[in-house]
Copies of this chain bind each other. A is one copy, B any other.
């Protein structure tokens, strides 16, 4: 494909005629928001996972696939600090797929859903004519929590940039069994004012670029500060792994320095929150190396196209 994912998404967004008063958040964020009668609103996200791309049935169990599909959408709910409500799941099954196998997939779906009191309320089961690969699509509804949904586009110059957990090497195993940061996101957004947030699905370099470009700001990251996972430390270039591997499903967010101080003081959950840099007024993302040299950082994460 000639255009990359973010370019084509921007083109789709430019074609939208959805009126902002009814659809306050549209194409290009982690979820879209729909305002209903009586002032209530609901958010929706959709994610398609493919055998051979997002998982490999030679190495992952059907139970893990069901779990991962749900957890990826739950992570989108987390990215906006919203509360998961319900999901519908579509599957395309190879010809020989048995009802017992379908029940294993279902067990994985409900294992993830039950943790967050998110209900499976519908779906669509269809079959390939031959042995084409398994496809699973999850569309999930959430509702705003104690605050308005946190968008990607609200980062401000001077904001502290934080990540949860550790980054990189997810393909070594974490990508099948990660814990979506639903509860932590709601907790953070209840304690302090978050200006922008995203879940790191395609790599820190790519997802930070999304926050910056959608907010019209730049950023300076301290390489030394990046929390590198044990799996990434085993790789040839641990920093590059932490920046670009993707599927970390950790939270990346920005907030004013005073709010950051408050968060650090009040944060009691076991998940680490690490300050990795600062938002600035440039339109570039830079990384300061341990030798204090500053280099420009290009998105090097996963592009779906």
Chain A interface (Cβ < 8 Å from any Cβ of B)? 1-3, 5, 8-9, 11-12, 15-18, 23, 26-27, 29, 31-32, 34, 36-42, 44-50, 52-54, 85-86, 88-93, 97-99, 102-103, 106, 110, 114, 119-129, 132-133, 135, 137, 139, 141, 143, 304-305
Contacts and interface: CB of A to CB of B under 8 A. Distances in A.
Given A37-B40, A38-B39, A88-B44, A1 B123 contact: no
Contacts of A34: 42, 85-86, 121, 141
B91 A48 contact: yes
A37 B39 CA distance: 9
A126 B304 contact: yes
A121 B139 CA distance: 13
A45 B122 contact: yes
Given A34-B141, A127-B1, A27 B120 contact: yes
A125 B5 CA distance: 7
Nearest to A86: B34
Given A3-B99, A50-B126, A52-B128, 9 more contacts: A8-B125, A26-B122, A27-B120, A36-B42, A47-B90, A48-B90, A48-B137, A90-B137, A126-B304
> In the complex, which of the residues A53, A99, A123, A139 has the most CB atoms of chain B within 10 Å of its own CB atom?
A139
* Chain copies in the assembled complex: 2
Nearest to A8: B99
Contact of A92 (B119, B128, B135): B135
Contacts of A98: 1-2
A120 B12 contact: yes
A133 to B, nearest CB: 6
A277 to B, nearest CB: 29
Contacts of A27: 120-123
A222 to B, nearest CB: 33
A155 B86 CA distance: 28
A44 B92 contact: no
A34 B103 CA distance: 24
Contacts of A121: 16, 18, 23, 26-27, 32, 34, 44
A304 B132 contact: no
Contact of A18 (B23, B119, B125): B119
Contacts of A127: 1, 53, 304-305
A86 B128 contact: no
A46 B87 CA distance: 10
Looking at A114, A119, A127, the one whose CB has the most chain B CB atoms below 10 A away is A119
